[in-house]
Amino acid sequence: MTDTSPIRINVDGRDIATSPDVSIIEAVWQAGETLVAGVGCLQGVCGSCRIMVRRAGSSDVTMELACETIVEPAMQVTFVGFLAHHRHHAYQIEDFYNAWDVLEQVNDTFPEAAHCRHCGGCDATCPRGLAVQRGVNLLVVGGVQEASDIFADCVMCNLCTRACPEHIGPNHLGMLGRRIVASHGLHSPNLLLRLDQIRRGALTVDVDAIEVPAARGDN
């Protein structure tokens, strides 16, 4: 039979008793707490129930979401407060109407993205386990579709933004990529990258050196 005996966990410095197999949020509610401010789904915005978790017998601290994390005996939980995004990137998705200019426009809108230090901080803090750093790096070189797929499960909790030493705002950059894909058909990222290099003078093309193959049937 399944053990339904109460277990004890620590939430924000307070020991509480809860039934097993419930989420952290449910455990707090069972303890009689009125938890609303840190529960985004109750406010229409997912991603607000950020928590730091330390499990019994481990010194590691992980970033998770309280709505989908199941309680464990002697677990220590700290709710992370509201995380504002202080660097705003103003843009209108309608301005990204020309798919050939997407690479240049993304980098103009998020110029700091090219300065990613590859420190992995964004990956380490993501409660959904997304490859955030790879998504950022893909968007810088025009891989909008692949990056959009990576950020598809992002809940906009802003933890990656706070962890980034370059203040890139990875989740906001990812949202731009998702909006572009939803609004437009896109060209090959390799082609976009080469065209951007030609525009900036980083790549020259010697037209005279290009050999045109003979048509079939010619001698």
Distance set, CA 179 to CA 25, 111, 138, 193 (Å)? 31, 18, 15, 20
Backbone angles phi, psi at 202, to 5 degrees: -80, -10
pLDDT band per the 50, 70, 90 thresholds, residue 157: confident
Cβ–Cβ under 8 Å, residues 138 and 193: no
The pair phi, psi for residue 113, each rounded to 5°, is: -65, -30
Q: How would residue 183 be classed by pLDDT, with cut points 50, 70 and 90? A: confident
Do 7-79 and 93-199 show the same overall fold? no
pLDDT tens sequence across 89-130: 888 888 888 878 888 999 999 999 999 999 999 999 999 999
Domain borders along the chain are: 7-79, 93-199
Distance in angstroms (rounded) separating the CA atoms of residues 197 and 67: 45
Statement: residue 217 has pLDDT above 50: no
- Using an 8 Å Cβ cutoff, are 130 and 151 in contact? yes
Pick the CATH number of 93-199 from 1.20.1260, 1.10.1060, 3.40.50, 1.10.1200: 1.10.1060
Is pTM beyond 0.85? Reply is: no
Q: Which two structure tokens, joined as six digits, stand for 70?
A: 């199941």
- Inter-helix orientation angle 102-109/170-183, to 10°: 150
Percent of the chain with pLDDT over 70: 80
Backbone dihedral angles phi then psi of residue 105, each to the nearest 5 degrees:
-70, -40
The pLDDT value recorded for residue 188 is 62
Distance CA 128, CA 76 (A): 19
What is the CATH code of the structural domain delimited by 7-79?
Answer: 3.10.20.740
Please give the structure tokens belonging to residue 85: 């995004």
Number of residues written out for the chain: 219
| 201 contact partners, CB below 8 Å, separation of at least 6 | none
